[in-house]
Copies of this chain bind each other. A is one copy, B any other.
Amino acid sequence: MLAITVISPVAFASEGEGVHNYATTFLFIAIILMMAKLSSLIERVGQPAVLGELLIGVILGNMVLLGINFFEPIKENPIIIFLAELGVVILLFQIGLESNIQKMKAVGFRAFLVASVGVIAPFILGTYLVGPWLMPGLNFSAYLFIGATLTATSVGITARVFRDLNKLQTREAQIVLGAAVIDDVLGLIILAVVSAIVTVGSVGIGLITLITAKAILFLVGSIIIGQIAAPRLGKLFAKINTGTGMKFTLAISFGLIFAFLAQKIGLAPIIGAFAAGLVLDPVHFRYFKDANIVKDLKENVKNSDEVTRKKILGILEPHADRHIEDLIEPLGLFLVPIFFVVTGMGVSLSTLANLPVLLVALGITVAAFIGKIVSGLVAGKVNKAVVGFGMIPRGEVGLIFAMTGKSLNVISDQVFSAIVIMVIITTLLTPPILTYLLKRKKMD
Protein backbone atom coordinates (compact mmCIF):
# COMPACT_ATOMS: atom_id res chain seq x y z
CA MET A 1 0.00 0.00 0.00
CA LEU A 2 1.36 3.38 -0.94
CA ALA A 3 0.97 6.76 0.58
CA ILE A 4 -0.98 8.97 -1.78
CA THR A 5 1.19 11.64 -3.24
CA VAL A 6 -0.25 15.09 -3.42
CA ILE A 7 0.92 16.42 -6.71
CA SER A 8 -0.95 19.51 -7.65
CA PRO A 9 -2.01 22.29 -5.32
CA VAL A 10 -4.94 22.76 -7.66
CA ALA A 11 -6.27 19.31 -7.27
CA PHE A 12 -5.95 18.59 -3.57
CA ALA A 13 -6.36 20.35 -0.28
CA SER A 14 -5.24 17.45 1.79
CA GLU A 15 -5.61 13.87 0.77
CA GLY A 16 -9.14 12.70 0.40
CA GLU A 17 -10.66 16.16 0.67
CA GLY A 18 -11.01 16.30 -3.08
CA VAL A 19 -10.88 19.04 -5.60
CA HIS A 20 -10.74 22.69 -4.71
CA ASN A 21 -13.42 25.05 -5.72
CA TYR A 22 -12.30 28.61 -5.49
CA ALA A 23 -14.90 29.87 -7.94
CA THR A 24 -16.86 31.82 -5.33
CA THR A 25 -13.73 33.33 -3.83
CA PHE A 26 -12.66 34.52 -7.29
CA LEU A 27 -16.07 36.10 -7.78
CA PHE A 28 -16.03 37.78 -4.35
CA ILE A 29 -12.59 39.26 -4.99
CA ALA A 30 -13.75 40.65 -8.34
CA ILE A 31 -16.86 42.14 -6.71
CA ILE A 32 -14.82 43.73 -3.90
CA LEU A 33 -12.33 45.24 -6.35
CA MET A 34 -14.96 46.61 -8.71
CA MET A 35 -17.11 47.98 -5.89
CA ALA A 36 -14.03 49.64 -4.39
CA LYS A 37 -13.31 51.35 -7.70
CA LEU A 38 -16.93 52.35 -8.10
CA SER A 39 -16.77 53.91 -4.64
CA SER A 40 -13.89 56.10 -5.75
CA LEU A 41 -16.65 58.33 -7.11
CA ILE A 42 -16.46 59.81 -3.61
CA GLU A 43 -13.32 61.63 -4.77
CA ARG A 44 -15.66 63.87 -6.77
CA VAL A 45 -16.84 65.41 -3.51
CA GLY A 46 -13.27 65.84 -2.31
CA GLN A 47 -13.15 62.81 -0.01
CA PRO A 48 -10.30 60.27 -0.06
CA ALA A 49 -10.86 56.96 -1.83
CA VAL A 50 -10.36 55.09 1.42
CA LEU A 51 -13.60 56.54 2.82
CA GLY A 52 -15.42 55.27 -0.25
CA GLU A 53 -13.98 51.81 0.25
CA LEU A 54 -14.98 51.75 3.92
CA LEU A 55 -18.50 52.97 3.15
CA ILE A 56 -19.09 50.54 0.29
CA GLY A 57 -17.91 47.87 2.73
CA VAL A 58 -20.45 49.05 5.31
CA ILE A 59 -23.17 48.87 2.64
CA LEU A 60 -22.19 45.39 1.43
CA GLY A 61 -21.79 44.14 4.98
CA ASN A 62 -25.25 45.31 6.05
CA MET A 63 -27.23 44.24 2.97
CA VAL A 64 -28.35 41.39 5.20
CA LEU A 65 -30.58 43.91 7.00
CA LEU A 66 -32.43 44.23 3.68
CA GLY A 67 -32.66 40.45 3.45
CA ILE A 68 -29.79 40.09 0.98
CA ASN A 69 -27.47 37.35 2.22
CA PHE A 70 -25.27 37.14 -0.85
CA PHE A 71 -22.29 39.03 0.60
CA GLU A 72 -22.35 37.46 4.08
CA PRO A 73 -19.89 34.62 3.27
CA ILE A 74 -17.22 37.20 2.43
CA LYS A 75 -16.95 38.10 6.12
CA GLU A 76 -15.96 34.57 7.05
CA ASN A 77 -14.01 33.58 3.93
CA PRO A 78 -10.58 32.75 5.39
CA ILE A 79 -8.82 33.46 2.11
CA ILE A 80 -10.32 36.92 1.73
CA ILE A 81 -9.51 37.65 5.37
CA PHE A 82 -5.90 36.68 4.67
CA LEU A 83 -5.76 38.78 1.50
CA ALA A 84 -7.07 41.75 3.51
CA GLU A 85 -4.32 41.29 6.10
CA LEU A 86 -1.71 40.95 3.36
CA GLY A 87 -3.21 44.11 1.85
CA VAL A 88 -2.58 46.26 4.90
CA VAL A 89 0.90 44.78 5.20
CA ILE A 90 1.61 45.76 1.58
CA LEU A 91 0.12 49.23 2.21
CA LEU A 92 2.42 49.91 5.14
CA PHE A 93 5.34 48.49 3.17
CA GLN A 94 4.54 50.90 0.33
CA ILE A 95 4.27 53.77 2.79
CA GLY A 96 7.60 52.76 4.30
CA LEU A 97 9.14 52.77 0.81
CA GLU A 98 7.75 56.24 0.16
CA SER A 99 8.95 57.51 3.53
CA ASN A 100 12.42 58.70 4.07
CA ILE A 101 14.40 57.40 7.02
CA GLN A 102 16.21 60.71 7.42
CA LYS A 103 12.91 62.59 7.50
CA MET A 104 11.62 60.11 10.07
CA LYS A 105 14.69 60.62 12.23
CA ALA A 106 14.22 64.36 11.97
CA VAL A 107 10.77 64.07 13.56
CA GLY A 108 11.81 61.28 15.94
CA PHE A 109 11.68 63.31 19.13
CA ARG A 110 8.33 64.92 18.29
CA ALA A 111 6.92 61.53 17.28
CA PHE A 112 8.01 60.12 20.63
CA LEU A 113 6.31 62.97 22.51
CA VAL A 114 3.10 62.60 20.49
CA ALA A 115 3.10 58.82 21.01
CA SER A 116 3.66 59.12 24.75
CA VAL A 117 0.95 61.73 25.33
CA GLY A 118 -1.33 59.83 22.94
CA VAL A 119 -0.93 56.68 25.04
CA ILE A 120 -1.00 58.19 28.52
CA ALA A 121 -3.92 60.59 28.01
CA PRO A 122 -6.52 58.13 26.71
CA PHE A 123 -5.32 55.47 29.16
CA ILE A 124 -5.96 57.80 32.11
CA LEU A 125 -9.23 59.07 30.65
CA GLY A 126 -10.46 55.52 30.09
CA THR A 127 -9.28 53.97 33.34
CA TYR A 128 -10.03 56.71 35.87
CA LEU A 129 -12.76 58.81 34.28
CA VAL A 130 -14.96 57.32 31.57
CA GLY A 131 -14.82 53.78 32.93
CA PRO A 132 -15.86 54.40 36.55
CA TRP A 133 -18.21 57.20 35.53
CA LEU A 134 -20.22 55.41 32.81
CA MET A 135 -19.99 51.91 34.24
CA PRO A 136 -19.86 52.25 38.00
CA GLY A 137 -19.36 49.19 40.15
CA LEU A 138 -17.10 47.21 37.82
CA ASN A 139 -13.84 45.69 38.94
CA PHE A 140 -10.83 48.02 38.60
CA SER A 141 -9.30 45.50 36.16
CA ALA A 142 -12.14 46.24 33.73
CA TYR A 143 -11.35 49.96 33.82
CA LEU A 144 -7.67 49.16 33.28
CA PHE A 145 -8.52 47.19 30.14
CA ILE A 146 -10.86 49.88 28.82
CA GLY A 147 -8.04 52.38 29.23
CA ALA A 148 -5.59 50.05 27.51
CA THR A 149 -7.82 49.52 24.47
CA LEU A 150 -7.77 53.27 23.88
CA THR A 151 -4.01 53.56 23.57
CA ALA A 152 -2.88 52.17 20.22
CA THR A 153 -3.37 54.05 16.96
CA SER A 154 -4.27 52.01 13.88
CA VAL A 155 -2.15 53.80 11.34
CA GLY A 156 -3.49 52.17 8.16
CA ILE A 157 -6.45 54.50 7.74
CA THR A 158 -4.58 57.71 8.43
CA ALA A 159 -1.74 56.62 6.15
CA ARG A 160 -4.21 55.97 3.32
CA VAL A 161 -5.80 59.39 3.80
CA PHE A 162 -2.40 61.12 3.68
CA ARG A 163 -1.53 59.07 0.61
CA ASP A 164 -4.83 59.64 -1.17
CA LEU A 165 -4.41 63.38 -0.66
CA ASN A 166 -0.74 63.30 -1.63
CA LYS A 167 0.41 64.51 1.81
CA LEU A 168 2.69 61.63 2.84
CA GLN A 169 5.80 63.80 2.61
CA THR A 170 4.55 66.45 5.02
CA ARG A 171 6.04 66.79 8.47
CA GLU A 172 2.62 66.03 9.97
CA ALA A 173 2.42 62.70 8.14
CA GLN A 174 5.93 61.74 9.21
CA ILE A 175 5.15 62.52 12.85
CA VAL A 176 1.94 60.48 12.78
CA LEU A 177 3.72 57.52 11.15
CA GLY A 178 6.59 57.64 13.62
CA ALA A 179 4.25 58.06 16.58
CA ALA A 180 2.12 55.12 15.43
CA VAL A 181 5.17 52.86 15.37
CA ILE A 182 6.19 54.01 18.83
CA ASP A 183 2.71 53.71 20.31
CA ASP A 184 2.46 50.15 19.01
CA VAL A 185 5.54 49.37 21.10
CA LEU A 186 4.09 51.22 24.10
CA GLY A 187 0.82 49.35 23.62
CA LEU A 188 2.68 46.05 23.69
CA ILE A 189 4.17 46.99 27.04
CA ILE A 190 0.82 48.18 28.42
CA LEU A 191 -0.93 44.97 27.41
CA ALA A 192 1.73 42.89 29.16
CA VAL A 193 1.55 45.05 32.28
CA VAL A 194 -2.25 45.12 32.45
CA SER A 195 -2.50 41.38 31.83
CA ALA A 196 0.06 40.70 34.55
CA ILE A 197 -1.83 42.91 37.00
CA VAL A 198 -5.07 41.09 36.26
CA THR A 199 -3.68 37.56 36.38
CA VAL A 200 -0.87 37.78 38.95
CA GLY A 201 -2.13 40.83 40.80
CA SER A 202 1.10 42.75 40.32
CA VAL A 203 3.78 43.29 37.75
CA GLY A 204 7.54 43.07 38.07
CA ILE A 205 9.85 45.71 36.67
CA GLY A 206 11.83 42.86 35.11
CA LEU A 207 8.97 41.88 32.81
CA ILE A 208 8.41 45.44 31.68
CA THR A 209 12.11 45.87 30.98
CA LEU A 210 12.26 42.63 29.06
CA ILE A 211 9.31 43.45 26.77
CA THR A 212 10.53 46.98 26.19
CA ALA A 213 14.02 45.79 25.42
CA LYS A 214 12.76 43.14 22.98
CA ALA A 215 10.59 45.62 21.08
CA ILE A 216 13.23 48.34 20.87
CA LEU A 217 15.85 45.78 19.94
CA PHE A 218 13.65 44.59 17.09
CA LEU A 219 12.97 48.02 15.70
CA VAL A 220 16.45 49.45 16.02
CA GLY A 221 18.12 46.13 15.22
CA SER A 222 16.07 45.45 12.13
CA ILE A 223 16.70 48.92 10.78
CA ILE A 224 20.45 48.63 11.34
CA ILE A 225 20.75 45.05 10.08
CA GLY A 226 18.44 45.84 7.18
CA GLN A 227 20.56 48.78 6.14
CA ILE A 228 23.63 46.58 6.17
CA ALA A 229 22.00 43.53 4.58
CA ALA A 230 19.85 45.15 1.87
CA PRO A 231 22.66 46.42 -0.40
CA ARG A 232 24.63 43.18 0.04
CA LEU A 233 21.60 40.99 -0.72
CA GLY A 234 20.84 43.21 -3.70
CA LYS A 235 24.36 42.74 -5.03
CA LEU A 236 24.31 39.00 -4.37
CA PHE A 237 20.98 38.35 -6.07
CA ALA A 238 21.88 40.66 -8.94
CA LYS A 239 24.60 38.13 -9.74
CA ILE A 240 21.92 35.52 -10.41
CA ASN A 241 19.59 37.73 -12.39
CA THR A 242 19.27 41.47 -12.81
CA GLY A 243 15.73 41.54 -14.15
CA THR A 244 12.64 43.26 -12.86
CA GLY A 245 11.42 39.99 -11.35
CA MET A 246 14.42 39.66 -9.07
CA LYS A 247 14.08 43.24 -7.89
CA PHE A 248 10.40 42.75 -7.13
CA THR A 249 10.96 39.44 -5.35
CA LEU A 250 13.75 40.76 -3.17
CA ALA A 251 11.70 43.75 -2.08
CA ILE A 252 8.50 41.86 -1.37
CA SER A 253 10.35 39.08 0.48
CA PHE A 254 12.06 41.68 2.62
CA GLY A 255 8.67 43.15 3.54
CA LEU A 256 7.14 39.77 4.35
CA ILE A 257 10.09 38.62 6.44
CA PHE A 258 9.98 41.82 8.49
CA ALA A 259 6.22 41.37 8.98
CA PHE A 260 6.93 37.82 10.16
CA LEU A 261 9.63 38.97 12.58
CA ALA A 262 7.45 41.75 14.00
CA GLN A 263 4.58 39.36 14.65
CA LYS A 264 6.94 36.82 16.22
CA ILE A 265 8.05 39.45 18.71
CA GLY A 266 4.48 40.47 19.50
CA LEU A 267 4.27 43.63 17.39
CA ALA A 268 1.72 44.17 14.64
CA PRO A 269 2.98 42.78 11.32
CA ILE A 270 2.30 46.15 9.67
CA ILE A 271 4.97 47.69 11.91
CA GLY A 272 7.49 45.21 10.51
CA ALA A 273 6.41 45.87 6.95
CA PHE A 274 6.70 49.61 7.50
CA ALA A 275 10.21 49.17 8.93
CA ALA A 276 11.18 47.05 5.92
CA GLY A 277 9.96 49.74 3.54
CA LEU A 278 11.84 52.36 5.50
CA VAL A 279 15.07 50.35 5.32
CA LEU A 280 14.86 49.62 1.60
CA ASP A 281 16.19 52.36 -0.58
CA PRO A 282 16.17 52.62 -4.37
CA VAL A 283 19.95 52.57 -4.28
CA HIS A 284 19.90 48.94 -3.12
CA PHE A 285 18.41 48.03 -6.45
CA ARG A 286 20.72 49.95 -8.70
CA TYR A 287 21.98 46.70 -10.18
CA PHE A 288 18.59 45.85 -11.64
CA LYS A 289 17.26 47.13 -14.94
CA ASP A 290 14.04 46.47 -16.73
CA ALA A 291 15.17 44.52 -19.78
CA ASN A 292 11.99 45.28 -21.75
CA ILE A 293 12.15 49.02 -21.29
CA VAL A 294 15.83 49.10 -22.20
CA LYS A 295 15.09 47.10 -25.37
CA ASP A 296 12.15 49.36 -26.25
CA LEU A 297 14.33 52.39 -25.77
CA LYS A 298 17.16 51.18 -27.97
CA GLU A 299 14.66 50.23 -30.65
CA ASN A 300 12.89 53.58 -30.58
CA VAL A 301 15.89 55.90 -30.84
CA LYS A 302 17.66 53.91 -33.54
CA ASN A 303 16.58 56.25 -36.31
CA SER A 304 17.05 59.56 -34.54
CA ASP A 305 19.97 61.88 -35.11
CA GLU A 306 22.84 61.86 -32.64
CA VAL A 307 21.74 64.90 -30.59
CA THR A 308 18.11 63.85 -30.26
CA ARG A 309 19.15 60.30 -29.42
CA LYS A 310 21.36 61.48 -26.58
CA LYS A 311 18.62 63.72 -25.26
CA ILE A 312 16.01 61.00 -25.36
CA LEU A 313 18.24 58.45 -23.72
CA GLY A 314 19.19 61.01 -21.09
CA ILE A 315 15.57 61.48 -20.17
CA LEU A 316 14.51 57.91 -20.53
CA GLU A 317 17.29 55.80 -19.09
CA PRO A 318 16.33 56.60 -15.51
CA HIS A 319 12.91 55.19 -16.38
CA ALA A 320 14.51 51.91 -17.41
CA ASP A 321 15.37 51.48 -13.78
CA ARG A 322 11.75 50.91 -12.90
CA HIS A 323 11.04 52.20 -9.46
CA ILE A 324 10.42 49.53 -6.90
CA GLU A 325 7.33 51.50 -5.86
CA ASP A 326 5.92 51.08 -9.39
CA LEU A 327 6.49 47.34 -9.20
CA ILE A 328 4.76 46.98 -5.84
CA GLU A 329 1.87 49.25 -6.87
CA PRO A 330 -0.21 46.65 -8.78
CA LEU A 331 0.04 44.30 -5.82
CA GLY A 332 -1.28 47.15 -3.69
CA LEU A 333 -4.05 47.85 -6.20
CA PHE A 334 -5.09 44.23 -5.88
CA LEU A 335 -4.84 43.78 -2.12
CA VAL A 336 -5.26 47.13 -0.35
CA PRO A 337 -8.92 47.73 -1.34
CA ILE A 338 -9.75 44.26 -0.02
CA PHE A 339 -8.55 45.33 3.42
CA PHE A 340 -10.64 48.49 3.55
CA VAL A 341 -13.80 47.01 2.03
CA VAL A 342 -13.64 44.01 4.36
CA THR A 343 -12.97 46.34 7.31
CA GLY A 344 -16.09 48.28 6.34
CA MET A 345 -18.04 45.05 6.06
CA GLY A 346 -17.24 44.32 9.69
CA VAL A 347 -19.28 47.34 10.76
CA SER A 348 -22.54 45.88 11.95
CA LEU A 349 -25.09 48.67 11.92
CA SER A 350 -27.42 46.61 14.11
CA THR A 351 -24.93 47.03 16.97
CA LEU A 352 -25.80 50.72 17.04
CA ALA A 353 -29.42 49.93 17.93
CA ASN A 354 -28.85 49.07 21.61
CA LEU A 355 -29.19 52.39 23.44
CA PRO A 356 -27.39 51.68 26.76
CA VAL A 357 -24.44 50.11 24.94
CA LEU A 358 -24.45 52.97 22.44
CA LEU A 359 -24.23 55.53 25.25
CA VAL A 360 -21.28 53.78 26.86
CA ALA A 361 -19.69 53.53 23.42
CA LEU A 362 -20.12 57.25 22.81
CA GLY A 363 -18.48 57.99 26.18
CA ILE A 364 -15.52 55.76 25.34
CA THR A 365 -15.33 57.34 21.89
CA VAL A 366 -15.15 60.84 23.34
CA ALA A 367 -12.23 59.68 25.51
CA ALA A 368 -10.64 58.15 22.43
CA PHE A 369 -10.92 61.43 20.55
CA ILE A 370 -9.78 63.75 23.34
CA GLY A 371 -6.90 61.49 24.37
CA LYS A 372 -5.36 61.66 20.90
CA ILE A 373 -6.26 65.24 20.06
CA VAL A 374 -4.23 66.45 23.05
CA SER A 375 -1.28 64.41 21.77
CA GLY A 376 -1.22 66.75 18.76
CA LEU A 377 -0.50 69.66 21.08
CA VAL A 378 3.07 68.45 21.67
CA ALA A 379 3.79 67.97 17.95
CA GLY A 380 5.76 71.22 17.64
CA LYS A 381 5.53 73.69 14.80
CA VAL A 382 3.12 71.81 12.58
CA ASN A 383 -0.62 71.67 12.07
CA LYS A 384 -1.37 70.23 15.50
CA ALA A 385 -4.94 69.34 14.64
CA VAL A 386 -3.81 67.20 11.69
CA VAL A 387 -1.43 65.26 13.92
CA GLY A 388 -3.97 64.88 16.72
CA PHE A 389 -6.83 63.74 14.50
CA GLY A 390 -4.42 61.61 12.49
CA MET A 391 -3.73 59.59 15.64
CA ILE A 392 -7.42 58.91 16.33
CA PRO A 393 -8.22 55.72 14.38
CA ARG A 394 -8.24 52.62 16.56
CA GLY A 395 -8.30 49.21 15.03
CA GLU A 396 -6.92 45.76 15.39
CA VAL A 397 -4.63 46.46 18.35
CA GLY A 398 -7.44 47.90 20.48
CA LEU A 399 -9.59 44.92 19.59
CA ILE A 400 -6.79 42.54 20.47
CA PHE A 401 -6.64 44.18 23.91
CA ALA A 402 -10.40 43.88 24.27
CA MET A 403 -10.25 40.20 23.24
CA THR A 404 -7.53 39.57 25.79
CA GLY A 405 -9.70 41.26 28.42
CA LYS A 406 -12.63 39.07 27.42
CA SER A 407 -10.56 35.91 27.60
CA LEU A 408 -9.45 36.95 31.11
CA ASN A 409 -13.13 37.49 32.01
CA VAL A 410 -12.56 41.15 32.75
CA ILE A 411 -14.39 42.62 29.77
CA SER A 412 -18.10 41.77 29.39
CA ASP A 413 -19.89 41.29 26.08
CA GLN A 414 -21.57 44.70 26.43
CA VAL A 415 -18.30 46.50 27.09
CA PHE A 416 -16.74 44.62 24.21
CA SER A 417 -19.53 45.79 21.91
CA ALA A 418 -19.06 49.36 23.10
CA ILE A 419 -15.35 49.12 22.26
CA VAL A 420 -16.20 47.79 18.82
CA ILE A 421 -18.51 50.77 18.25
CA MET A 422 -15.69 53.11 19.34
CA VAL A 423 -13.43 51.46 16.73
CA ILE A 424 -16.15 51.88 14.08
CA ILE A 425 -16.68 55.57 14.85
CA THR A 426 -12.98 56.46 14.95
CA THR A 427 -12.47 54.52 11.71
CA LEU A 428 -15.30 56.17 9.78
CA LEU A 429 -14.97 59.73 11.11
CA THR A 430 -11.23 60.19 10.72
CA PRO A 431 -11.05 60.27 6.90
CA PRO A 432 -13.56 63.11 6.41
CA ILE A 433 -12.23 65.13 9.38
CA LEU A 434 -8.62 64.74 8.28
CA THR A 435 -9.52 65.62 4.70
CA TYR A 436 -11.26 68.77 5.90
CA LEU A 437 -8.24 69.76 8.03
CA LEU A 438 -5.72 69.06 5.28
CA LYS A 439 -7.67 70.99 2.66
CA ARG A 440 -8.17 73.95 4.99
CA LYS A 441 -4.38 74.23 4.87
CA LYS A 442 -4.17 76.64 7.78
CA MET A 443 -1.15 76.05 9.99
CA ASP A 444 -1.77 76.80 13.63
Contacts and interface: CB of A to CB of B under 8 A. Distances in A.
A3 B416 CA distance: 10
Interface stretch (A81-89, A138-146, A178-186, A221-229): A81-89
Interface in A238-284: 240-241, 244-246, 248-250, 252-254, 256-257, 259-260, 263-264, 269
A287 to B, nearest CB: 14
A424 interface: yes
A395 interface: yes
A346 interface: yes
Interface stretch (A349-357, A366-374, A434-442): A349-357
Contacts of A334: 248, 252, 331
Contact of A241 (B24, B40, B319, B427): B40
Given A237-B37, A252-B33, A334-B252, A89 B26 contact: yes
Interface in A416-444: 416-417, 420-421, 423-424, 427
Contacts of A22: 82, 85-86, 263, 269
Contact of A38 (B34, B41, B240, B245): B240
Given A241-B37, A311-B308, A400-B11, A260 B23 contact: yes
Contact of A41 (B18, B34, B240): B240
A37 B296 CA distance: 24
Q: Is the interface of A mostly helix, strand, loop or mixed?
A: helix
A327 interface: yes
Interface residues of A, number: 109
Contacts of A337: 249
Interface string A6-50: 111111111000111111111101100110111011010000000
B6 A260 contact: no
Contact of A417 (B4, B248, B250): B4
Given A22-B269, A25-B82, A245-B333, A416 B264 contact: no
A399 interface: yes
A5 interface: yes
B7 A346 contact: yes
B13 A78 contact: yes
A37 B253 CA distance: 11
B245 A85 contact: no
A254 to B, nearest CB: 8
Contacts of A38: 240
Instruction: Indicate the member of A10, A33, A245, A308 with the most B CB atoms within 10 Å.
Output: A10
Contacts of A84: 9-10
Contact of A85 (B10, B263, B333): B10
Given A5-B420, A333-B245, A423-B8, A34 B346 contact: no
Given A10-B85, A79-B79, 9 more contacts: A3-B348, A7-B346, A8-B399, A9-B80, A24-B260, A37-B250, A78-B79, A244-B329, A307-B308
16 contacts: A5-B348, A7-B346, A7-B347, A7-B420, A9-B342, A18-B407, A23-B260, A23-B263, A26-B256, A33-B252, A34-B253, A38-B240, A40-B245, A249-B333, A301-B315, A327-B333
